[in-house]
Amino acid sequence: MEDLWFASASEIARRITGRSVTAVEVAEAFLKHIAVHDRLLNSFLNVMTDQALDAAQRVDDALRAGRPPGPLAGVPVAVKDLIDIAGMPTTAGAHRRFHTMAHEDAPVVTRLRDAGAIIVGKTGLHEFAYGVTNANPHAGSVRNPWDRSRTPGGSSGGSAAAVAAGFCAAALGSDTGGSIRIPASLCGITGLKPTYGTVPTSGVVPLSWALDHLGPLTRTASDAGLLFSVLAAIPRPAEEIGRGIAGLRIGIPRHFFWEELDPEVEAACRQAVGTLAAQGAAVLDVVIPHAQDAGAAATLILSVEAAAYHERRLREHGEAFGEDVRAKLDRGLFVSAVDYILAQRARAFLTREFIQTLRGIDVLVTPTTITPAAPLEGSDQTASSLAMSQEYTRFTYPFNLTGLPALSVPCGFTAQGLPIGLQIAGRPRDEATVLRVGHTYQQVTEWHLRRPTLD
């Protein structure tokens, strides 16, 4: 069964529906893997052993009765622990004072269950999803499977580490400033932030109502498409994804998005663009004149909305927050209404500018992050946490601000063995083309097939 730990979600579902293996056998294999190896990574906050085995049994019973089990039949999936699962605590990676007990599933969890997925547990995150390091003073830090002394990225670091380590075939994450794509890049997996509003966010602890997105972390772009179709309740764009990219126009925004890069990141991403060109895509230089302003506008909007959500907690139990998160929330309390409105106007302006650029091309391609995974040591200090947030969100924030779909796929490794990610972004609600580019790239490369060593 160990061969399934790193199998794709679609392959696991095929084997279960083909009756070559049972859903219970698959669940048992993944749960054993978690029990033996997650002590090294701390990717899970709660493992749902009994619930997972019961759900797997229901999938097997459905198959024996001739009932369709769903497109994710028996696929082990993890859920970031700010998403409600009935009967489970929602911790948001926070102090126990702020934990709540969920009485019903979030809509995305209901959709996963209806599709036959087996939820194996809830994953760790940066406190209240407000940071990129996953250094957490309450639940302990999640560690990168490729180098346990380094950050997995965040805030969905537990979800990314769990997929990369083979603890599940897919996981749910949230993305407010890059929190799916950054850990996907640093952990060597695939992560999709869909178009704003396509996946429901109710039943989820918010960070910023204007910027929050939910999406999947998977091994492949094809699996990301499968999970996205379930989460968004739309038909799977399978035929579109497999069409190839001959004739597609890929825009390279060299200003801002390709500046100040780590040399190894730049080399890997440039090579990836060459690979896409070799598959028949036209590569064009484009300019997005005000792209550099996106981060400041997004940061301000996020800080105000996060402070608004947590205002009562800050007032009554401010001492229960971690130092770095408290500093960010305090900052949001002192932003003027004028500045918030100006940031929202900048958001509208930049959204128009990005969409105008995409009228002449099909997708934008950039590095996902400036650098690979940084050391965890010291990343819990407020100054370091703030600096890392600014650095790692540089290329991801613009697509939260504009709400455009964006995908990160593995495109190489550094000399130290650290993963590098390539970001592909597209027009509103055109996840199919974004996934098509990612899938085509993965058809002719093997970066997404590499596995970390856990022993």
Domain of residue 89, CATH code: 3.90.1300.10
Catalytic residue among 10, 179, 385, 389: 179
Please provide the average confidence, as pLDDT, over all residues in the chain.
97
In a domain, 134, yes or no: yes
Cα gap 28→50, rounded to integer Å: 10
Catalytic residue among 8, 43, 80, 208: 80
Handedness of CA 175, 199, 349, 327 (dihedral sign): negative
Question: What type of residue is 205?
Answer: V
Q: Helix H segments across 151-262?
A: 157-164, 181-187, 221-232, 238-241, 254-257
pLDDT tens, residue by residue, 202-225 = 999 999 999 999 999 999 999 999
Catalytic residue among 10, 43, 155, 222: 155
How many CB atoms neighbour CB 453 within 10 A?
A: 7
Handedness of CA 304, 308, 312, 313 (dihedral sign): negative
In a domain, 195, yes or no: yes
Asked about 179 being catalytic, the answer comes back as yes
Query: Is the pLDDT reported for residue 239 higher than 90?
Result: no
- Containing 81, the helix (H) or strand (E) segment is none
- 280 Ramachandran zone, left/alpha/beta (phi>0; psi -120 to 50): left
In a domain, 146, yes or no: yes
Cα gap 10→331, rounded to integer Å: 44
In a domain, 258, yes or no: yes
Contact 336, 388 (CB under 8 A): no
Range of the domain at 163: 2-449
Cα gap 16→184, rounded to integer Å: 27
What is the end-to-end Cα distance of the chain in Å, rounded?
A: 18
| Rg (the chain; Cα; Å) | 20
Q: What's the pLDDT score for residue 380?
A: 67
The predicted model gives 5-19 an average pLDDT of 98
In a domain, 455, yes or no: no
Q: What's the pLDDT score for residue 237?
A: 63
Q: Measuring CA to CA, how many Å separate 448 from each of 89, 164, 184, 419?
A: 33, 10, 11, 10
The pTM assigned to this predicted structure is: 0.97
In a domain, 9, yes or no: yes
In a domain, 454, yes or no: no
pLDDT band at 188 (very low <50, low <70, confident <90, very high): very high
Instruction: Choose among 147, 148, 173: nearest CA to 160.
Output: 173
Q: How many domains in the chain?
A: 1
Q: What's the pLDDT score for residue 423?
A: 99
pLDDT band at 238 (very low <50, low <70, confident <90, very high): low
Question: What type of residue is 252?
Answer: I
In a domain, 191, yes or no: yes
Place of tokens 């990314």: 160
pLDDT tens, residue by residue, 76-100 = 999 999 999 999 999 999 999 999 9
